[in-house]
Structure 1
Amino acid sequence: MSYSIGQRIKDLREYFNITQKELCNGICSQGLISRIEKDEVSPTALVLEQIARRLSVDMNYFFDEIHNYGNNYIELTKRTIDKKIRECNYEEVLQIITLEKNSPLFKSDQLKQYILWREAICVFHVKHDEKRALELLEAALNIGTASPKIISEYELHIYQSKAIIYSMTNKLDEAAEIYKQLVQKINSLTHIKHKRLMINIYYNAGMNAYDRHDYAEAIKLVDYALTLCIDEDYLYLLGQLFFLYGIALFDYDHKNKDESLKYLDKALFIFTLKNNQANIESVEEEKVRVANTKVD
């Protein structure tokens, strides 16, 4: 038996503990929602789009994975922006955003939220304007779901960017509070498609804990991320996670010296495979520090 649109709407609504009345408010009648969930009628495209927005999922969530939304201009532009962000080409991204932010193609709430999020990151790195970057992130969050019970994957990204900015401006406690909430959220959400996001949040939360000298918390968070990497067959951040786990383990208790060196060797292996010279040098420096520290 196929997993119908009505069943998917009902399951997601009940998961977030939202009533039919809350879901249909401003969209349609409660009676129509009830009939949709019972598969008595099919929602129109407009109604389904509004329901998807209210539940903070892409419309593709309600269909089989045969649909391909990647072969269009918007998705190509987003992939270009994402790639240049990963490469730290923030000035180029700002140029793209300047051209596209007023385009009619980027007028949906979700796309506006995406553009504001990416613009905030670039403003912080290019113009070094923390205040403006945080204002843009807040504007992006204000576009989000109308229900406080729901948080979308975009919003998880946005909150994490906010925490990263706080960390980079030495506001570690403010960042720690955001990471605490993010970890609670990702541990309770079952509909997150992209496990890389979860790994990234655990890693950055672990880095924040390490910078605050809370080595036990850093070890716990990195352990979550390592387990996820292994379970999901991800190499993403694996080297960085081994590295962070190794130094946190040692700084938590110098008696963990041998175990720490094992994790640093694992990190070194991954970075060598990826030919990441900067990270290789960082690992080698930490190995010298750990090896040369006398243990009572």
Structure 2
Amino acid sequence: MADPSSSLAAGRVVLITGASAGLGAAIAREVVRRGEARALVLVARRADRLDALAAELRGVAPGVEVLTISADLSEADACRRTAEEAVARFGGVDVLVNNAGLGLPTLFADSPVEDLVRQVAVNLTAPILLTRHLVGTLTARRGTVINIGSAITCVANSALGAYGATKAGLAYWNDAIRRELERDGVTVCLVEPGPIKTEFSDAFQKLARDGARPHPVVETPSGWMTADVDDVARRVVGLLSRPKRRLSVRRRMVWPFRAMGALAWAFPALGDWFVTRVFGVDQASGRAREAR
């Protein structure tokens, strides 16, 4: 007799944001490899990369339908249009992976205001709006929402202030909607990966080329802090069969961060001293002052 869970998985429609490269693309490949969906909706700004990934996935699994949507999720209307196009094509969405994220390679004081606005829109506003536009179909299908957060929220990092704030907000909202939607049969999961071995955002590359001073964290992450993108993707897709409220992908990364956060909360002055020196923020700021 056929396994009911297998037929359920085969009928899923999975929407992944930030799917043109990195973790999003790896999640799409893993979904297809495991046979977890009948259809994929891949969303990102770079249409050429989405089309290339779609062709790759169709070659691996010809029976899986793939819809690509080129959209800039920093625009609120793009979230609505993405949801409407996915529902119009497939009748609904079973799994929403809010993966799209934007990091900036400079310290807060060096970041252009327009880039900070876009960072908040992509990292926090877009997941909220896209989930809101899809909540009806997710509820009807007793679906799943997976939010890609960050272990950085465990400790307020002076080198990643705005980025960490967006991820902290995402974590708060994740827990809130998990409690609200649980009664409607919707599963909500938060993933806390550390740094991942993958290309950084377009904004990172652009600002780096423009000569911004080096970022003490994202420029040179320690090897022990860096996770393999395919391993992270496997763990994320594993949530579809074994959901967890919160998945800490790299425990050796996340738990030290949590300990640092507890230290900073209990002893603020010691926490300030420790965090700024561990991540080299004082040195980076000092170099900038000398350059000025």
TM-score higher than 0.5: no
Scaled by the length of structure 2, what TM-score is found?
0.31
Q: Which has the higher contact order (CA 8 A, sep 6+)?
A: 2
Higher strand share: 2
Which one has a bigger Cα radius of gyration? 1
Higher helix share: 1
Scaled by the length of structure 1, what TM-score is found?
0.31
